[in-house]
């Protein structure tokens, strides 16, 4: 395992932002962990609910040696690592990856991942709802937490440690083959949220509709016969359903 430097803050605006401010001082696998974020960021400028002492809010830097065109699978690899941990803790419930990288338990969102490319480095920020029991209304997707799903409190540091170990293993494989490894892709496609469902993909001011067929080896979503590289997936509800 590559050595990891962990920097802890009682409070920070956003762990992604703190990494950006220090991008030239921190090496690969520097992890910023915070107990509270005053300006937790989600994708598309959404807010990420980050109450003190309840959940995991952390970000780390990667300096990928592989070319940018191969990097689109990386968020999926991160999401897959979280999925594998959650499967160890939450038994008898279906856990899914929602493309590109949300983690869903049954139909509720438990984890969000924000990957940013900044000054030729990759900043991966993870918000995993561990012990929260109440969520404000602003959060989309009907949030849940490990505690709500299991009835138990969890040690956040133990979860972080398991994540880093698992992720490093999958990341090494990913860098070697320059795509999502076949066995991982197979499992992801088996656990893909809204597979075979009609969805709407929103991207800035445009959208696409179609049926989700799967994810390909570079992490693109296969929507009918189109490949989608970015966007937000929404289920289309048919009348009467």
Closer residue to ligand BTN (CB): 160 or 218: 160
Considering the complex, state which of residue 127 and residue 231 has its C-beta at the smaller distance from ligand BTN. Answer: 127
Closest CA to 98 of 195, 164, 197, 226: 195
Per CB under 6 A, contacts with ligand BTN among 162-191 are: none
Where is 207: in which H helix or E strand?
strand 206-215
Do the beta carbons of residue 155 and residue 120 sit within 8 Å?
no
Note whether 43 binds ligand BTN by CB under 6 A.
yes
Among 26, 29, 49, 57, binds ligand BTN (CB under 6 A): 57
Under rule CB under 6 A, residue 41 binds ligand BTN: yes
**Order of strands, sheet of 56-62, starting from the edge strand that comes earlier in the sequence:** 5-9, 30-34, 56-62, 121-128, 108-118, 102-105, 95-98
Q: Which of 79, 125, 143, 231: binder of ligand BTN (CB under 6 A)?
A: 125
CA dist 171 to 91, 120, 178, 217, Å? 25, 18, 10, 14
Query: Residue 30 is encoded by which pair of tokens?
Result: 């520097």
CB of 33 to ligand BTN, least distance (A): 9
- DSSP bridge partners of 227: 222
* Cα 190–chain centre separation: 17
Residue 193 interacting with ligand BTN (CB under 6 A): no
Residue 15 interacts with ligand BTN (CB under 6 A): yes or no: yes
Under the binding rule (CB under 6 A), the answer on residue 14 touching ligand BTN is: yes
Residue 16 binds ligand BTN (CB under 6 A): yes
> CB under 8 Å to 212, separation ≥6 — which residues?
99, 192, 194, 195, 196, 197, 199, 221, 222, 223, 233
> Pick from 48, 49, 99, 174: which binds ligand BTN (CB under 6 A)?
48
| Contact stretch for ligand BTN (CB under 6 A) within 121-129, 198-206, 212-220, 232-240 | 121-129
C-beta of 38 vs 209, nearer to ligand BTN: 38
Using the contact rule CB under 6 A, the part of the chain among 42-50, 143-151, 192-200, 232-240 near ligand BTN is 42-50
Phi, psi (deg, nearest 5) at residue 229: -105, -20
By DSSP bridging, strand 121-128 and strand 198-203 are unpaired
Nearer to ligand BTN, 15 or 170 (CB): 15
The span of 43-51, 63-71, 77-85, 158-166 binding ligand BTN (CB under 6 A) equals 43-51
102 binds ligand BTN (CB under 6 A): yes
- Within 8 A by CB and 6+ apart from 107, the residues are 142
- Per CB under 6 A, residues contacting ligand BTN are 14-16, 37, 40-43, 46, 48, 57-59, 102, 112-114, 125-127
């Amino acid at each position: 395992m590559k050595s990891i430097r962990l920097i802890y803050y009682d409070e920070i605006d956003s762990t992604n932002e703190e990494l950006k401010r220090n991008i030239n001082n921190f090496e690969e696998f520097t992890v910023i962990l915070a107990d509270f974020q005053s300006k937790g960021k989600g994708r598309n400028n959404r807010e990420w609910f980050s109450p003190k002492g309840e959940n995991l809010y952390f970000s780390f830097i990667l300096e990928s040696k592989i070319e940018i065109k191969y990097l689109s699978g990386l968020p999926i690899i991160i999401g897959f690592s979280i999925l594998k941990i959650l499967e160890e803790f939450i038994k008898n419930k279906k856990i899914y990856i929602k493309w590109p990288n949300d983690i869903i338990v049954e139909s509720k969102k438990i984890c969000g991942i924000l990957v940013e490319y900044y000054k030729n480095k990759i900043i991966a920020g993870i918000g995993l709802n561990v012990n929260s029991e109440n969520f404000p209304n602003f959060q989309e997707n009907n949030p849940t937490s490990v505690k709500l799903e299991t009835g138990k409190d969890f040690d956040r540091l133990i979860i972080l440690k398991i994540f880093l170990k698992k992720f490093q293993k999958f990341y090494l494989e990913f860098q070697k083959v320059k795509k999502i490894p076949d066995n991982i892709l197979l499992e992801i496609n088996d656990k893909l949220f809204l597979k075979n469902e009609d969805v709407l993909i929103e991207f800035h001011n445009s959208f696409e509709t179609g049926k989700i067929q799967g994810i390909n080896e570079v992490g693109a979503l296969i929507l009918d016969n189109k490949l989608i590289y970015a966007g937000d997936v929404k289920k289309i509800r048919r009348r009467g359903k």
